[in-house]
Amino acid sequence: MRRRWMAAVAVSLTGLLTLTACGDGGGSQGGSQSAEAKVEVFSWWTGAGEADGLKAMRAIFERENPGQEFVDAAVAGGSGDQARALLASKLSANQPPDTFQGHAGAELQGYIKAGKLESLNFLYDELKLRDVFPQQLIDQISVQGEIYSVPVNIHRSNVLWFNPAVLKEAGISTPPATIAAFIADLEKVKASGKIPLSIGSQWTVVHLLESVLLGSLGTETYNRLWTAQADWSNANVTQALNDFKTILSYAGTPVEDWQPAAKQVADGQAAFNIMGDWAYGYFHNPPDGGLGKSSKTDFDWAPAPGTDGTFMWLSDSFTLPKGAPNRAGAVAWLKVAASKEGQDAFNPLKGSIPARTDADKSLYKDYLEWDLAQWSSNKLAGSIQHGVVANDAWRASINDAVGLFQGDQDVAKFQQALADAAKNSGQ
């Protein structure tokens, strides 16, 4: 597996460096389909739903910018871990793509401190984006008054997806609202012979951890973990990690990524999966881009246990790297990503809600209608795995700690590793 991944990175890097070598360092918005007009858009949107949303935005970009050739440089792998590893090598070699996807919040801090990103204040002024993006979101993507990314959407991380028929078979009438009820229901499903909880690759386990921490600790205590007043060594965290150990003991065999884990729920093989709301697009979209399942029948949702009233959020965004080979093309892409039309084309397919407050709410139905209402009324907490509360180094340390814990199941060692990661985060 490692050999295949390294080979894939080598091939991808070779191809991407070839593309960036074509530019003259300036770029052009007009003219013919020349090498200088290629716009390399780097993301990790390759799965069903997210790839459909990207295609929808791409169609708008190509219609509005006939002199620019869109180059989809997406790298497969849920949550973007593989894409970020490749991106880091490109930026270190001073070979940036024209624009790249990142999560709003702490994830971008390393790039900003290293001087790899241009401020986008000029674009926010030109498009009057401060008037249409929520102030809290503006604050998260700003550093000392400078804004460094264009948010395309808002996602909810803490969603419990479940199969109603599997729950009924196990004697469960309503989705669990607390951590204790969740553990009891997992045991009931286990007794019925189905997989209680589906999981994917390691990042999906970190995703599970953040919802368990929030559900066990509560919103204020969870949010405090990411401040200077954080105490990762206290008894409340110990209890939360023991809850996580118990919940993880009911998980099925890990599958390749979040999509096959979600599919186990949709197909009735598993009862529960905790995943972000991008899973909605995968469940709901027609079979050429999703599973074509019916909500409330084939799948349903609820806040992750213990988190009702709190929206654990993240936001996909795009940046303008310094030295972008086609800067003008990158700015043209950012304008589409920031636009009402672009966000309304992208988000219903992706399974997310718009970052803009003036989007067409009639397009957001079913789960997404519920999500919009939750976003406007809930308390907020930031995602760990998806870049809001922890910078890349801190998140990587948490991922390492989770990987070791999956092997040894030692809560004391796990808690100490998390406390050390917080202490050494430099955030």
Average pLDDT, the chain: 89
Q: What is the mean pLDDT of residues 238-251?
A: 98
pLDDT of 30 strictly over 70: no
What is residue 285's predicted lDDT score, i.e. its pLDDT?
Answer: 85
The domain spans of the chain are: 2-152+318-350, 156-312+384-423
Q: What is the 3-state secondary structure of the chain?
A: CHHHHHHHHHHHHHHHHHHHHCCCCCCCCCCCCCHHHEEEEECCCCCCCHHHHHHHHHHHHHHHCCCCEEEECCCCCHHHHHHHHHHHHHHHCCCCCCEEEEECCHHHHHHHHCCCECCCHHHHHHHCHHHCCCHHHHHHCEECCEECCEECEEEECCEEEECHHHHHHCCCCCCCCCHHHHHHHHHHHHHHCCEEECCCCHHHHHHHHHHHHHHHHCHHHHHHCCCCCCCCCCHHHHHHHHHHHHHHCCECCCCCCHHHHHHHHHCCCEEEEEECCHHHHHHHCCCCCCCCCCECCCEEEEECCCCCCEEEEECEEECCECCCCCHHHHHHHHHHHHCHHHHHHHHHHHCCEECCCCCCHHHCCCHHHHHHHHHHHCEEEECCCCCCCCCHHHHHHHHHHHHHHHHHCCHHHHHHHHHHHHHCCCC
What is residue 84's predicted lDDT score, i.e. its pLDDT?
Answer: 83
Q: What is the pLDDT of residues 137-183, one digit of tens each?
A: 887 778 889 999 999 999 999 999 999 999 999 999 999 999 999 99
Q: Into which CATH architecture does domain 156-312+384-423 fall? A: 3-Layer(aba) Sandwich (3.40)
User: Same fold for the domain at 2-152+318-350 and the one at 156-312+384-423?
Assistant: yes
pLDDT of 260 strictly over 70: yes
pLDDT of 105 strictly over 90: no
What is residue 78's predicted lDDT score, i.e. its pLDDT?
Answer: 62
pLDDT of 134 strictly over 90: no
What is residue 22's predicted lDDT score, i.e. its pLDDT?
Answer: 37
Q: What is the mean pLDDT of residues 94-99?
A: 96
pLDDT of 416 strictly over 90: yes
How does residue 286 score in pLDDT terms, banded at 50, 70 and 90? confident
Q: What is the mean pLDDT of residues 355-371?
A: 94
Q: What is the pLDDT of residues 321-362, one digit of tens each?
A: 999 999 999 999 999 999 999 999 999 888 899 999 999 999
What is residue 346's predicted lDDT score, i.e. its pLDDT?
Answer: 95
pLDDT of 231 strictly over 80: yes
Q: For the domain 2-152+318-350, what is the CATH superfamily, name and number? A: Periplasmic binding protein-like II (3.40.190.10)
Q: What is the mean pLDDT of residues 414-424?
A: 97
